[in-house]
Amino acid sequence: MDEPDALLLDLDGTLIDWVEALEAGVAAGAARIAEAHGLDAAEITAATLAFEAEVYELHATGWLLGGVGTGELYGALWRRALEVYGLDEPAAGELAEAQWAAELAAFRAYDDVAGLIERAAGRGIRLALVTNGPSVVQRAKLEATGLADAFDAVVISAEAGVAKPEPRIFRTALDALGVAPGRAWHVGDSLEYDVAGAQAAGVRGVWLNRHGWEHGRHQPEPGLEIRSFDELLALCDSGNSAETAP
Ligand SMILES: [Mg+2]
């Protein structure tokens, strides 16, 4: 397989496990409510996670393009949870802070990420992060996981003023690297945001399917599907050895 000159990388679900962190964060807030009112923390956690996506959708534009941070988004989540339980304390702001603190402690890079970064550097493959979210939040995740200095370019939607799947955010990253779209791959866990967005920008869209999700018939078709970065590196290796074989 012809190796790319640059890899563009998604952050959440690709380099770091955000679901595990979200669950830890919501559990931290739920524990405070449970303690204050003698309720079951696990039940509050499950109930709150069940409407998390719905609350997120209401604030998604501000979250992706600027103006909404953890205080607003998580505060809205906890106001909803308190309302469900007919409570008015602890204050939603306090719960939002507890959630974010617990998330920061829980963020971790997947095991195959360090190897990818090392091998990319060794082969002269340039790396850019292309991520959707608020500047402060995404940069805090990079710091918390030791990835802050891993990239040649970092493109965050709230800073760039454009979010995935818009092709323009991928072009911003390519411009920063000085690499043509045809010489870059973008790797991400979302077929809609990562694969389709990258392909609209002329970049090969690689679907990182860590959990073995089924590919729906009407979903975007990836240029390549991998289960891990180790698999990606092995594919590049086999391509190189094939090319150098007599
Ligand atoms: Mg993602």
Going from the Cα of 12 to the center of ligand 1, the distance in angstroms, rounded, reads 4
Beta strands in the chain (DSSP E): 6-9, 126-131, 153-156, 184-188, 204-208, 224-226
Q: Is the four-CA dihedral 145, 146, 147, 148 of positive or negative sign? A: positive
Q: What is the CA radius of gyration of the chain?
A: 20
Going from the Cα of 240 to the center of ligand 1, the distance in angstroms, rounded, reads 29
Going from the Cα of 191 to the center of ligand 1, the distance in angstroms, rounded, reads 9
The predicted pLDDT at position 238 comes to: 80
Going from the Cα of 40 to the center of ligand 1, the distance in angstroms, rounded, reads 31
Going from the Cα of 52 to the center of ligand 1, the distance in angstroms, rounded, reads 16
Going from the Cα of 241 to the center of ligand 1, the distance in angstroms, rounded, reads 31
In terms of Cβ atoms closer than 10 Å to its own Cβ (0-12, 13-18, 19+), residue 203 is buried
Going from the Cα of 43 to the center of ligand 1, the distance in angstroms, rounded, reads 27
Going from the Cα of 75 to the center of ligand 1, the distance in angstroms, rounded, reads 23
Going from the Cα of 137 to the center of ligand 1, the distance in angstroms, rounded, reads 14
SS3 166: coil
Phi, psi of 176 (to 5 degrees): -65, -35
Per-position DSSP letters for 82-107, written without gaps between them = HHHTT---S-HHHHHHHHHHHHHHH-
Tens-level pLDDT at each residue, the chain (246 residues): 678 999 999 999 999 999 999 999 999 999 999 999 999 999 999 999 999 999 999 999 999 999 999 999 999 999 999 999 999 999 999 999 999 999 999 999 999 999 999 999 999 999 999 999 999 999 999 999 999 999 999 999 999 999 999 999 999 999 999 999 999 999 999 999 999 999 999 999 999 999 999 999 999 999 999 999 999 998 888 876 544 444
